[in-house]
Amino acid sequence: MDLLEGLNTPQREAVLHTEGPIMIIAGAGSGKTKVLTNRIAHLMQQGVNPYNILALTFTNKAAAEMRHRIEQVAGNDAKSLWMGTFHSIFARILRIEADRLNFTSSFSIYDTEDSKSLLKSIIKERGLDEKNYKTATVLGRISMMKNRLVSYKEYLANPAYYEDDRASQRPEVGKLYELYQRRAYKANAMDFDDLLFYTNILLRDFAEVREKYQQKFQYILIDEFQDTNLSQYLIVRQLAEMHKNICVVGDDAQSIYAFRGADIENILNFQRDYANTKVIRLEQNYRSTGNIVNAANSLIAKNKNQLDKNVWTSNNEGKPVQLIKTVSDTEEARWVGDKIFEEKMNQTLRNKDFAILYRTNAQSRSFEESLRKKNIKYRIIGGLSFYQRREIKDLIAYLRFTINHNDEEALKRIINLPKRGIGDSTVDKLRELAEHHGLSLWQVVADVKSYLQGRSTGAIDAFADLIKEFESWLEIKDAYKVANEVANKSGLLKELYEDKSIEGLSRYENVQELLNAIKAFVDNPDNEDKSMGAFLQEVSLLTNADEDDEGDDDKVTLMTIHGSKGLEFPFVFVVGMEENLFPSTMMLGSMKDLEEERRLFYVAITRAKSNLILTYTTTRYVFGKLQNYELSRFVGEINPKYLQKNNEKPERSDSSASFSTLRSLVSNQNRTTQYTKIQGNKPTDTNFTPSPSNLVVEGARVEHSKFGAGTVKKVEILSGDRKAVIAFDEGGEKTLLLSFAKLKVL
């Protein structure tokens, strides 16, 4: 089989150049997977033993697809390739060499739940406040340290780490790290981070092991190199040291996983580490139309920190990128649903041809409702359906039981949520009593002291009083007021708010999104009945959908942009294109973060093959209040000649647009608030002198050049950096990273 057939000139060169370090900069849609698989097959055709080839990917799916393609070319010999994810390959090496590290080859691999369970036990044994030492927060800190190759001994010996922990009111984190590692070792277990951590130790401390694998892996290939972290890169550097036949494939413009520890510097500085690197650029995009490719190029050109490349396509120009303005998030979702229905009818497209991409999972709710109402099948990728998420089901269960005390499933779900000391054995006893006396479970709960004695009766009685209070509101409050009271007084919102992990923040945002949906329901003039019962009836119609045919994959895809990398669709909607939503307010603290957000938008644009629609809304419910929103700065960075607002003709200027140019393109917006383009946190007052960040402490009065004076409410650690929550006198509450925020202590 001719492996070069159908390849363009740079692709051929990438396949044939087998010796020495090579960096393949693969633009979006440039056929990198084909190049990588053909390169491996070519090595095998040239007589390289597949046993001496190491190919590393980030997903099992990618590894399986590549292996399948190679098998089609090279046959069963491909089974001998060392091909897989970083974690799977390194686990394989660790099992072979386990005795070097005093493990056995049968060591267990802890998943996240195993790790949390172990850490939770240690925190409890130490008598620490579990609300302050949240398992997810502490585990995140430990994970970050391992990926930076900081052992617990080094952590405990470094006073800077202790000061960070003390400032966060968690001075015991170092000791917890030590105990966690000791207990895992005693259990002959490693977690996912350990697979990288111990592989580094193995190669660093055992020269004979290092030489063994350096000799073995004569050719090393790494896919999605821009997503590697420090730990992964150091392992690869050690393995490639002898032969230096290392091939990395990636695109710095698609580096979007810094929150997972990915370091874009690995790809940006690859040539520094390998001075004689051959650089090949795959710049022809086979996926998208000309307008989409050029729109993406004009956006990503605004990033300063990037590798040179010029992505182009010979595909037809196609339609301009559409920009759609709506007046609310509900209207935005309705418009998208209508557009999908219309395009399916007019162009005989399938559901699977469409994707709706959003910045946060919480945004899926309104789009799910819109698609369900139009009987359009969909699937959620990378997350549960909004109404199937645990935190949503929890609050819905409270609301259901407030209305219907015979709903025993709802009662069982909420009676010990949040935890109030009513265990499963107690609930089983209550059920037995109910059956014995011929009563409902609620009747026993509501009058528990007549049926049961013991320590738990006080908690059960308090729970019953809470439900009775909730019930009393049904006749005097609308659905939103009832739901808001229930969410707060039940303790659900408080518990989620206090969980500062990424997962906890996401769950908190999801519950707020549910409250926003209820508020929108109440404010909708078409809904005459604004009661909780009416809302729950509407929700039940949304969630009791017919069972999907398991073999039916013809569904609209809903997913976050982070989850969409590597995928492509004929028709893509990128929704929620509003300032402070995308880019996220959490990513405005530094130019580095803002450039990552811009790369995320670049990834979203380049998922589209022929049709790309950007939507935004001027109002959106946030924490139950209707707030005004402005068009994202990122839309303003796309050359307007590739954009078309609604059905207007695209502008044909050859110059790149300023934001004011784009605003004239959407001049009929009648904004109620003025748009401000944030240029980092640079003071505009030349007399403004920031104070050292270590003087910014809880309770201090500070001044910011943009937001004015305010009071520091809280200071804590975020990804190794200190952040402050500040209540500004006029600007409201802001969360700022102290390494970037310029604050003057008053």
Contacts of 67 (CB under 8 A, 6+ apart): 78, 79, 81, 83
For 193-224, give one letter per residue: b (16+ CB within 10 A) or e.
Answer: bbbbbbbbebbeeeeebbeebbebbbbbbbbb
Q: Please, what is the angle between helix 192-205 and helix 135-147, to 10°? A: 30
How many CB atoms within 10 Å of residue 406?
11
Considering 193, 223, 578, 596, which one is annotated as catalytic?
A: 223
According to DSSP, residue 631 is labeled B
Considering 607, 620, 641, 723, which one is annotated as catalytic?
A: 607
Answer yes or no: 306 catalytic: no
Considering 33, 214, 443, 735, which one is annotated as catalytic?
A: 33
Answer yes or no: 32 catalytic: yes
Q: Which two tokens stand for residue 441?
A: 């479970």
Contacts of 530 (CB under 8 A, 6+ apart): 478, 479, 521, 522
Considering 137, 181, 254, 402, which one is annotated as catalytic?
A: 254
Is-contact 228 222, C-beta < 8 A?
A: yes
Answer yes or no: 223 catalytic: yes
Beta bridge partners of 220: 54, 246
Answer yes or no: 33 catalytic: yes
Answer yes or no: 224 catalytic: yes
Backbone angles phi, psi at 249, to 5 degrees: -125, 130
Query: Counting beta carbons within 10 angstroms of the beta carbon of residue 538, is it exposed (0 to 12), middle (13 to 18) or buried (19 or more)?
Result: middle
Instruction: List, as one string, the DSSP characters of 258-283.
Output: GGGT--THHHHTHHHHSTT-EEEEE-
Sign of CA dihedral 449, 451, 455, 456: negative
Is-contact 611 573, C-beta < 8 A?
A: no
Answer yes or no: 153 catalytic: no
Instruction: List, as one string, the DSSP characters of 571-622.
Output: EEEE---BTBBTTBGGG-S-HHHHHHHHHHHHHHHTTEEEEEEEEEESEEEE
Considering 97, 172, 224, 593, which one is annotated as catalytic?
A: 224
H-only helix segments in 26-134: 32-45, 60-74, 86-96, 112-125
Considering 32, 39, 339, 565, which one is annotated as catalytic?
A: 32
Distance CA 687, CA 418 (A): 51
Catalytic amino acids? Answer: 32-33, 223-224, 254, 607
